[in-house]
Amino acid sequence: MAPISPRKLETRKFGKTGLEITRIGLGTWAIGGGGWAFGWGPQADKPSVEAIHRSLESGINWIDTAPVYGTGHAEEVVGGAIAGRSPAPYVFTKVSLLWDSRRRVRSSLKAESIRQEADASRRRLGLDVLDLLQVHWPNPEEDIEEGWRALAGLKDEGKVRHIGVSNFSVEQMERAAAIAPVETLQPPYSLVHPEVQDEILPYAKQHGIGVIVYSPMASGLLGGTMTAERVQAMAPDDWRRKDPEFKGARLQRNLALAALLAEIGKEHHASAGEVAIAWTLRNPAVTAAIVGARSAPQVDGFLHASEVRLTQTEVDRLVSFP
């Protein structure tokens, strides 16, 4: 694959971390492959590495991953793909989800478990220090304080530069903030699931918390290429086959919304997916969006999103969609 010239992508200050990140980051959930409860079906490593390289060559300066994605595999792929690259991208990963020999996943926020997870992530990624370590899910909820103290300790020790949370409520963030500042937040946010814009995003903005939203295209529903036939053809171990948003009347509604996104995109020379991503980026609380890709062409298909500026009329059409 021939190298391409990096484009100048818009950046934003990532809360109070001091990092300047591009408004789009590469998500690696899908490249972990299948064989576990929330896998996306089979995925070869070669196109995954090509997607990572294309994103970096295109100017994206950060990657979001997690140990549980492919039960360690996504981090291994990322580590191999970024080894020796200069400049190195920021790498953000997570803790709190563990798996057994049968790849069954469970939650833990125990301090010793978190320390072991962080060390394992550093080995898989080939990094001495993690740029950002996030609590993946606030479960078990009674252990939030213990888990957050462990993350704060890792930061104090220099193993982690910044610490954040994912999928936390306002009340859960306040519990963590009583121990150590919450620097970043990673919530789901899309036209299909806009709920966090009511309380969680305003809270983050008020407290200077950097926000990177995930699934801005609703796991592919709003990308403009999803069809009922494609859903039926998904691999048996693709978690989306079980998601209510990919079934029946809700699927038809979401595909109609994607068609509206494609219509609006024509005015911006943008795809439906790029408009869906741009809709999340217009929220003043949102620093950047995590966009997953399983191949280099998929990366090419969303790079324009941060340049799309939706009019108020277009936003109104989207938010009023039945």
Catalytic center residues: 69
**Residues 108 and 135: beta-carbon distance below 8 Å:** no
Q: For residue 282, give Cα distances in angstroms to 20, 289, 310, 315.
A: 18, 11, 8, 9
* SS3 sequence of 197-227: HCCHHHHHHHCCCEEEEECCCCCCCCCCCCC
Between CA 216 and CA 307 the distance in angstroms is 15
Between CA 35 and CA 29 the distance in angstroms is 13
37, with CB counted inside 10 A (0-12, 13-18, 19+), is middle
The helix or strand, by DSSP H or E, that contains position 232, with its residue range, turns out to be helix 228-232
Determine the 3-state secondary structure of 182 from DSSP.
coil
